[in-house]
Structure 1
Amino acid sequence: MMADWRTIFGHDEPYDEQEDGIETAIETARDDGFSVIEGACGTGKTMLALTAGLHLVRDPDSQYERVFVLTSVKQQLRQFETDLKMINANLPDDWNPISALTLIGKADVCPYNRENAGGIDDSNVYDRCEGLRERTRDITGESGATTAQNLASRARSQQMGLADSGSQSGGASYLETAGEPSPYPPEMPEYGDVEYCPFYAQFLEDMPEDGDPIESVPFDFDSMGLIEPSDLVAHSVQWGTCPHSMMGALLNHVEVVVGNYYHAFDEVTTATFTGALVDDSTFLVCDEAHMLEPRVRDLVSQSVGDKTLRDAEAELTRVIQPVKFDDKDSTHTTADANLVRSELEDASVSLRELEQTRDFVRDLREEVDRRVTAYLEREHRGWKANLTDLPDAEIPLRDPTVPQSDEISKWAEQEGYDGGTWARAEKVGAVVAKILNEAEEEDRERSALPAGRALGEWYRNDHEEYFREIVLERTWNDREPGDSWRRAYNAQLAMQNCVPSDAIGEQLGEFGGGILMSATLEPLEIFQEVSGLVHLENDGRPVVERTFGLNFPKSNRESFAVDAPKFTYSNRGAPGDETRERQVYADAIRDVAQSPGNVLVGMPNYAEATWAAEHLRKVVDKPVLLDESSADDATEDLKDEFFGGEAKVLVTSLRGTLTEGVDYRGDRLKAAVVCGVPIINTASPRTRAVRTAYERKFGDGFTYALTVPAVRKARQALGRVIRGTDETGIRVLVDSRYARESWDGVREFFPEAEREEFQPVSPDMLSLGLERFWQTH
């Protein structure tokens, strides 16, 4: 009989909430169901989820063989790793350790890329890897030129300077990484004049013909517990085998796999890498589940850029030309022409289909050019003289509020391009990519395949839940003509999945059961609908809800909902306007920013964040940092600056990356103030289409698509303040919609306990409430 789950639990005693959550999750999963858990910081959600899942995995009477953890936040990924180590450290002596693996990308495990060797670096690692693997398979495959064992042996002898075709340049004789030497040289070896990967060759040699890939793993992973990336690389290179292939071989045999949403919901990733995890023997843990809906929407949406279409057209032409020229001179046959004919025949693709696809892509680009030019003439007269001032833009291809066929699809039909043209594009793109990779002996991503895939999806997906538009993104390309919009923009044909609930629900249904959890899921009934869990209930699978509030002492925190005029554009005006309503907010953020310690100010967008920072620099005797929409490295530097040294104020957009998934534990944050309800731009065609789709699906598009996600953003920001039992802090919401039970109020979207904590106060009483709290803390 399986021991009690407390044997696996990594701490001495669980919180009451953890005990309830663990037992609920176990019972629900035994019935093939999912638990939906909102748990505030301090609930111990990671340990809760791992304990429940691992108890089922270790139970011989359970269907579950593994736990698959998905999280979109690196900090949370580290927390799962920490808790796994704690579980292993506290298991009974006669228990085997929990085996676990964290999934990471090729760039982080490729020995050559890690050391910038073999002509591989971050800019080309994925393309080079695929090309090298394909050539390694070709050499050892049907051609029978040599064996995988011989390729690996040649590279080993080349390292020692023994192979006739090999030579050593200066530098290390061994490629070393993760603190371990490999048996191969830093240079990429060759067979004849063809490069190959010796690490992958060794993997192929160790792979049994009809066996499980796990038999190719040369080291004892069962005793390792959590296999961290550096451990995986170190053990693999010692044996001269491919770390990424080892990860693929291990993932179906360890008890816990930690990854991100791509690993379960991206069609390409599951088809080529993690598909073995998507079945009813997997206990799924969706962490940060409030992000499930937007993350999956992005994954199941499609786009293809004008530059990609341009490159696809050129690639198609390069494949067509050798055969066309060869046909004109029957006395001369080129190797390229023979290659093209052979590959087309193998793929059952005709030259005529290549030509039709090339013509379609060319004409499609011309149609996009016509539409973009017409839009700019209509909306930005004189745009050619002001290319640097053009903003990002959306050009809808249908009325966002009326589901119907889009204008590009109608144009294609009128031009004689039928459904077959769209549908064939992916197959044509695949064969073009294969031909060029073989003919040009260059490892890089080809555009014909992703372009063809996007065009195929454009045709296949419906027009009710998918919205199509041309998206103009600011860029700058001096190589384009001075009067061309392409100098200032990259145009994308974008297809947005407006309602991903069906896609989410269908994929969740592939798993045996599990937990979806976050600190901000309420209202849970709405979360269930938008995340497709209702599909599971309709199939008779249970979905059980739990909500756990903050279990830290209430005396350590104070929470206010300031009854200020709604922070909407019609009320406050533009950031530079000196309106009475804006002054109320200026006073509120000043009062909170004067709190002792670090203070976080969350504004609805970056423009308002800039206004708030400029105001605070005039009235607060603290350094004021402004988070701007910028690259990850700049954001990380800003975060480090905020945490270091004297107390500061950090002003950011509530739609940025600093208001969730960032650890503000300890003295890193003493107060947070949120201004307004951060509803996204409702005038955007894409937003209007999403709202319409939600209206048709759920009956209340504004609430489901806009209001509830905005409230979750606000709650995430406030959740940065109190992260531990001994921490003290202030949480402030400024907007009457947080303070009143009105027709447009949002208090109802907070959990009941949280509503009770956020006391409605008038703007003039906020400073008094803050002063009283800090006098006693």
Structure 2
Amino acid sequence: MTWKSVFGHAEPYPEQAEGIETTIETASRGGFTVLEGACGTGKTMLALTAGIDRVRDPDSDYERVVVLTSVKQQLRQFEDDLRTINENLPDDWRPVSGLTLVGKADVCPYSRERVAGVDETNVYDRCEGLRERTRNLVGDGGDTTAASLVSQARQAQTGLADSGAGGPDYLETAGDPTPYLPETPEYGDTEFCPFYAQFLDDLPEDGDPVEAVPFDFADRGLLEPDDLVSLSAGFGTCPHSMMGAVLPHVEVVVGNYYHAFDPTTASTFTGALLDDSTFLVCDEAHMLEPRVRDLVSDAVGDVSLRDAESELTRVIQPLEFDDESATSTADADLVRAELEESDVTLAELKELRQFLDDLREELDRRVKAQLDRVQPDWRADLTRLEDHELPLRDPEEPATDEITEWAQDAGYDGGVWARAEILGSVVARVLNSAEEEDKKRATPGVGRVLGEWYRQDHERYFREIELERTWDETQPPDSWRRAYNARLALHNCVPSDAIGSQLAEFGGGVLMSATLEPLDVFRRVSGLDYLEEEGRPVVERTFGLGFPPENRASFAVDAPKFTYGNRGSPGEENATRQVYADAVCEVARRSGNVLVGMPSYSEAEWIAGVLRDRLDKPVLVDESSDDVVTESLKTEFFGGDDKVLVTSLRGTLTEGVDYRGDRLAAAVVCGVPIINTSSPRTRAVKTAYDREFGSVPASDAGSGSQGGAASRSGFETALTVPAVRKARQAIGRVIRGADEVGVRVFVDARYARDSWNSVREYLPAQEREEFTAVSTDMLSFALDQFWDDR
């Protein structure tokens, strides 16, 4: 076979063909292709074609393609392109099977229909509780079997009809009936899940779970979540369990970064996919480093510490009372048996409980001291309090954190930290057996974080206390706990090893985005150098816009730098703000929809006010909000007359959103959206990157640097390069096809000039050539010249 049999369109772009062949050849050698391709150049089809070619090739070791993306819009694009591939396969080919990974809330029949006390807020706890009780009923060694549980649940429907109460009130979901009532059944006094019982009944002993799947999926092509729910629940079996059973046997799996990089998810649900028979497609790969940094960082909240202390007490008390009364109780026997089996002592449990109590007192002392310093009268009005970070060491000087030092001084050695996770698991098992409440136990999570806190180093990891504004009426009126959720946070500043080691689990693949340059930076922070050290090839390709250049105008406006020192706060009026207001209005007043990207939401509000005062066009403002509100805003922007959409460059409307056709005539970006550099966490990341990468020369060819090789500072690597990628993502929304016409404008001297703080070197060579530097007073003329020629 050749890849052209898989490719879903009549002919590929030249760059697509080169990218497909490069990716196939590199993956055949166990390597990864790093591909930057401009928006609209067909990266999704490229990656799927290369991956499916490897999976369908009988001489290849690849068995599946796993797609990871951080943007829901892109997830939909992979689904659409897989459908296109299946629609255009040769007549004698079977469809390429596919599955999109979703959470329990999306597939659990009870959660979807909000019955049986289950909804999206508690589905995980309720599901685990119901499953455990169902397993316990079947595993008691008595007459109860999974089949008998299912039979009882199904007969409840018949009994309802025979009672004369009308037809059976079947639970319906995904447009089809299930064989069960809307409420969960009980066996004796024990609630169980009939869907999970059916799955257990169908599960063969020592067999592949796929044998429990009651429907054919190999020839269905893409199995969408609603299809999975309808087919599974219609047969009376658990859709989420079916997803797990089908997962290793489909050819294309589409998911999110956390499916591969979240330690818990990767080790449980998707672990079977993380091997050398999997071809990886990592989409929106410019987000890989920050997203994985979040996934491999951890935190534990004050409330969790409190709950864990309570859970430990409930396990300890039966043994204390038993010792005092010399009278055995069922609870005491249960606890004693679990401790003996787990090699855990009562003394250890008591020490951990005391440690958590002392830790909360130390946390309380530090938070009060911080608030007394920054806002001495804070108790008088808790509503005035703002978020805070309390660093536990100097962010720019790696050293042991103050909480670890406090613990040592208080007499807690490494044992209480290191054993906390094991003790937490024991506590959870005891309480899950003794208490029927469906609730996620706090102690295992607390134990995990305490263990990581003790094990991880102090150079790559930064520890702090985070105070996040919330409100809890149950706390005293003068307590900071009424206004804050306090967390002990452990931040992985340099996740490259975590990324590289996980990528090494896959057989090969492609990492791609519209904005990966400078590639030398991407390789370092994404752990790809680790792969090369292991002998795995890493091949780079950069494809610019192959569409007619006469259809676009690209300008870098030589305006004063849009930094806080120049512009001040959004409420100020000064010369710098006037220049930016004029430039944005020049772009926005012309025909067509216009996207305006600002460094923050507060700056977006400011420029929106200016535009409303000066333009006749409607002006829409994006705010930090949920997906439903964002989707509604997009729909409003795309429909009707011309509009201006203003957003933060760190929002969701500048990445992964398809502004195809005439949806967008221009995009203008103001400033370089570098995040707050005063944050202790940001300073710690910058310092860690200085230590990790600062002495490494940047490749002249790979990075687009002008002049000789130069080292990359932590500021560049951790802050400047990601900021420029954000700006480029927004600009890339405009031209996405050969027939599209539009204007792209950067406003800031750092895009226009080659100076000590210029960011032009972080643009690919083609973009440096295309973005013509213009003065502020020539922008109007340049725009008129372009649009008049259209």
Per the shorter chain, which TM-score range?
Answer: over 0.9
- Please report how far the alpha carbon of residue 731 of structure 1 lies from its aligned counterpart in structure 2 after TM superposition: 0.9
Q: Distance in 2 between matches of 1:218 and 1:628?
A: 45
Q: Which amino acid aligns with 1:740?
A: R
User: Which stretch of structure 1 is more off in the superposition, 743-752 or 345-354?
Assistant: 345-354
Please give the secondary structure, in 2, of the residue aligned with 1:774.
Answer: helix
The AA in structure 2 aligned to 1:47 is M
Question: Could you tell me which of 69, 72, 76 is aligned with 2:70?
Answer: 72
Equivalent residues of 2:97, 2:221 under 8 A apart = yes
Name the CA shift for 1:365/1:11 in 2 (closer, same or farther; >3 Å): same
Give the secondary-structure state (helix, strand or coil) at the position aligned to 2:364.
helix
How much is the aligned-residue C-alpha RMSD, in angstroms?
A: 1.6
Q: Of residues 231, 254, 261 in structure 2, which corresponds to 1:265?
A: 261
Question: Partner of 2:618 in structure 1?
Answer: 623
Distance 1:521 1:236 in 2: 41
Indicate if the aligned counterparts of 1:595 and 1:671 stay in contact, CA closer than 8 A: no
CA distance in 2, matches of 1:725, 1:407: 58
Tell me which residue corresponds to 2:701.
none
Q: Is 1:185 aligned to residue 181 of structure 2?
A: yes
- Corresponding residue for 2:767? 754
**Alpha-carbon separation, structure 1, partners of 2:769 and 2:297:** 39
In structure 1, the partner of 2:4 is 6
The alignment partner of 1:56 has SS state of: helix
1:248 corresponds in structure 2 to 244
8 Å Cα contact 1:136/1:200 also seen in 2: yes
Distance 1:622 1:515 in 2: 42
- Summarize deviations over 1:309-360 as a string: whole Å, max 9, x none: 11111121222222222322124x3332232223222322222211111111
The CA deviation at 1:291 is 0.6
Measured against aligned partners, the alpha-carbon deviations of 1:501-533 in whole angstroms (never above 9, x if no partner) come to 010000001111000001000111111111000
Alignment match, 1:117: 115
1:172 positional shift: 5.2
Distance in 1 of aligned mates of 2:167 and 2:587: 58
SS of the residue corresponding to residue 397 of structure 2 reads coil
* Aligned counterpart for 2:365 among listed residues 367, 370, 384: 370
Structure 2: how far apart are the matches of 1:735 and 1:386? 41
How far off its partner does 1:728 sit? 1.6
Amino acid at match of 1:174: Y
Sort the Cα spacing of 1:86 and 1:636 in 2 relative to 1 into closer, same or farther, 3 A. closer
**How many angstroms apart in 2 are the aligned matches of 1:449 and 1:677?**
42
Instruction: For residue 19 of structure 1, report the CA deviation from its aligned partner.
Output: 0.7
Q: What count of residue pairs does the alignment treat as equivalent?
A: 772
Residues 148-187 of structure 1: pairs in structure 2 closer than 5 A: 148-161=146-159, 173-187=169-183
2:776 pairs with 1:763: yes
Deviation at residue 772 of structure 1 after TM alignment = 1.9
Please tell me whether the aligned partners of residues 160 and 166 of structure 2 are also in contact (alpha carbons under 8 angstroms): no
TM value normalised by structure 2:
0.96
**Cα drift, residue 149 of structure 1:** 1.3
Deviations 1:471-506 (A, max 9, x none): 111111222112111111111111110000010000
Q: CA deviation at 1:696?
A: 0.6
**Do the aligned residues in 2 keep the contact of 1:184 with 1:240 (CA within 8 Å)?**
yes
Look up the match of 2:455: 460
Residue in 2 that maps onto 1:503: 498
Given that residues 695 and 701 in structure 1 are in contact (C-alpha distance below 8 angstroms), is that contact kept between their aligned partners in structure 2? yes
CA contact (8 A) 2:215 2:231 kept: yes
C-alpha displacement at 1:237, in angstroms?
Answer: 1.6
Distance in 2 of aligned mates of 1:117 and 1:575: 48
Deviation at 1:145, TM superposition (A): 4.6
Residue number in structure 1 paired with 2:708: none
Partner of 1:661, secondary structure, is coil
1:597 and 2:592 matched: yes
Which of 529, 532, 548 in structure 1 is aligned with 2:524? 529
Structure 2 CA distance for aligned equivalents of residues 92 and 657 of structure 1? 38
State the secondary structure of the residue aligned to 1:666: coil
- The C-alpha deviation readout for 1:652-694, integer Å capped at 9, x for no partner, is 1111111112222222221111111000111110000000000
Question: Does 1:196 find its partner at 2:192?
Answer: yes
Matched, 1:347 2:342: yes
CA–CA separation in structure 2 for the residues paired with 1:170 and 1:665: 53
Report what 1:704 is aligned to: 717
Structure-2 separation of matches of 1:599 and 1:682: 30
Q: Which runs of 5+ in 1 are unaligned?
A: none
Find the residue that maps to 1:173 and give its secondary structure: coil
Show the counterpart of 1:29. Answer: 27
Letter in 2 for 1:46: T
Q: 2:700 matched to which residue of 1?
A: none
In the alignment, the residues of structure 2 paired with residue 31 and residue 185 of structure 1 have an alpha-carbon distance, to the nearest angstrom, of: 54
Aligned residue identity for 1:470: I
Question: Which range is displaced more, 91-100 or 253-262?
Answer: 91-100
- Aligned-partner residue type, residue 590 of structure 2: S
Q: Deviations over 1:733-758 (max 9, x none)?
A: 01110001111101111111111111
2:604 aligns with 609
Secondary structure in 2 matching 1:309: helix
**Matches of 1:59 and 1:635, distance apart in 2:** 42
Cross-structure match for 2:80? 82
Work out which of the residue numbers 297, 300, 322 in structure 1 matches 2:296. Answer: 300
Following superposition, the deviation at residue 130 of structure 1 comes to 0.6
Q: Distance in 1 between matches of 2:521 and 2:590?
A: 36
Quote how far apart the aligned CAs of 1:598 are.
1.7
Counterpart AA for 1:774:
W
Superposed displacement of residue 614, structure 1: 1.8
Q: Secondary structure at the match of 1:283?
A: strand
Which residue is 1:734 aligned to? 747
- Give the AA of the match of 2:205: E
Select between 429-438 and 565-574 the one with higher mean Cα deviation.
Answer: 429-438
Distance in 1, Cα, partners of 2:424 & 2:519: 44
In the alignment, which of 741, 745, 758 is matched to residue 758 of structure 2? 745
Q: In structure 1, what is the Cα distance between the partners aligned to 2:402 and 2:632?
A: 45
Matches within 5 A, 1:634-713: 634-699=629-694, 700-713=713-726
Partners of 1:433 and 1:168 in 2: CA distance: 45
Give, in whole Å, the separation in 2 of the partners of 1:627 and 1:123.
Answer: 26
Residues in 2 aligned to 1:724 and 1:697: alpha-carbon distance in whole angstroms:
40
In 2, distance between residues paired with 1:135 and 1:105? 21
Which whole-Å CA distance do the structure 1 matches of 2:109 and 2:166 have between them? 19
- Amino acid corresponding to residue 392 of structure 2 in structure 1: L
Instruction: Give the corresponding residue for 1:48.
Output: 46
In 2: Cα distance, 1:664 partner to 1:335 partner: 64
* 3-state SS in 1 of match to 2:419: helix
- State the partner residue of 1:447: 442
Say whether 1:386 aligns with 2:381. Answer: yes
Deviation at 1:168, TM superposition (A): 11
CA 145–366 in structure 1, closer or farther in 2 if over 3 Å, else same: farther
Amino acid at match of 1:647: D
Q: Which runs of 5+ in 2 are unaligned?
A: 695-712
- Distance, in Å, in 2 between the alignment partners of 1:311 and 1:237 is 36
Change (3 A) 1:408 1:169: farther
TM-score normalized with structure 1 length: 0.97
Any conservation in 2 of the 1:412–1:418 contact (CA below 8 Å)? Answer: yes
CA distance in 2, matches of 1:171, 1:630: 44
Equivalent pair of 1:172/1:186 in contact (CA under 8 Å)? no
Partner of 2:709: none
Give, in whole Å, the separation in 1 of the partners of 2:763 and 2:358.
51
- Superposed CA offset, 1:102-126 (max 9, x none): 1111111111111122221112111
Distance between the aligned counterparts of 1:590 and 1:703, measured in 2? 31
- Comparing 108-117 with 284-293, greater Cα deviation is found at 108-117
SS state at 1:63 partner: coil
In structure 2, the CA distance between the partners of 1:18 and 1:173, relative to structure 1 (3 Å rule), is same
Deviations 1:344-403 (A, max 9, x none): 223222222111111111111111111111011111121112321222110000000111
Ranges of 4+ aligned residues in structure 1 off by more than 3 Å: 142-145, 166-172
C-alpha separation in 2, matches of 1:644 and 1:373: 52
Measure the CA separation in 2 of the matches of 1:128 and 1:168: 32
Distance in 2 between the 1:573 and 1:238 partners?
61
Kept in 2, the 8 Å contact 1:158–1:167? The answer is: no
